[in-house]
Amino acid sequence: GDSVTQMEGPVTLSEEAFLTINCTYTATGYPSLFWYVQYPGEGLQLLLKATKADDKGSNKGFEATYRKETTSFHLEKGSVQVSDSAVYFCALTSSNSGYALNFGKGTSLLVTP
């Protein structure tokens, strides 16, 4: 079945450092890929998405490119801020999963001043 694998956290970075959170997936067909962010005590917020190969999703300085050849969707940001501290979830939907979101386990990010 479909699955998503994320790098394990926690990830601790200093403010203005470069961020990469790795995400790889297994899916039949042509999944759509997502990054969601969860701030402490809150629900999930959509950060960005990509629906086909080579698409780049971007939002708030974050970017991720849908790489079909490597089945990856790594999240990047050039300069993190303290306010980016949160848990980041990679997820996919596909016709195989009935369009239910299939999430990775999440990666906790802590940005220190």
- The nearest distance, CB 66 to other proteins, in angstroms, is 15
Q: Which is nearer to other proteins, 15 or 100 (CB)?
A: 100
Residues of the shown chain interacting with other proteins in the complex, contacts defined by CB under 8 A: 32, 34, 36, 42-46, 49, 89, 91, 93, 95, 97-106
What's the chain look like in SS3? Answer: CCEEEECCCCEEEECCCCEEECEEEECCCCCEEEEEEECCCCCEEEEEEECCCCCEEEECCEEEECECCCCECCEEECCCCHHHCEEEEEEEECHHHCCCCEECCCEEEEEEC
Residue 103 Cβ vs other proteins, minimum distance, rounded to whole Å: 4
Taking the complex as a whole, the smallest distance from the CB of residue 89 to other proteins amounts, in Å, to 6
Which residue number, 37 or 80, has a Cβ lying nearer to other proteins? 37
- Output 14 or 51, the one with its CB closest to other proteins: 51
Pairing state of beta strands 102-103 and 86-93?
antiparallel
Closest separation between CB of residue 3 and other proteins, Å?
Answer: 11
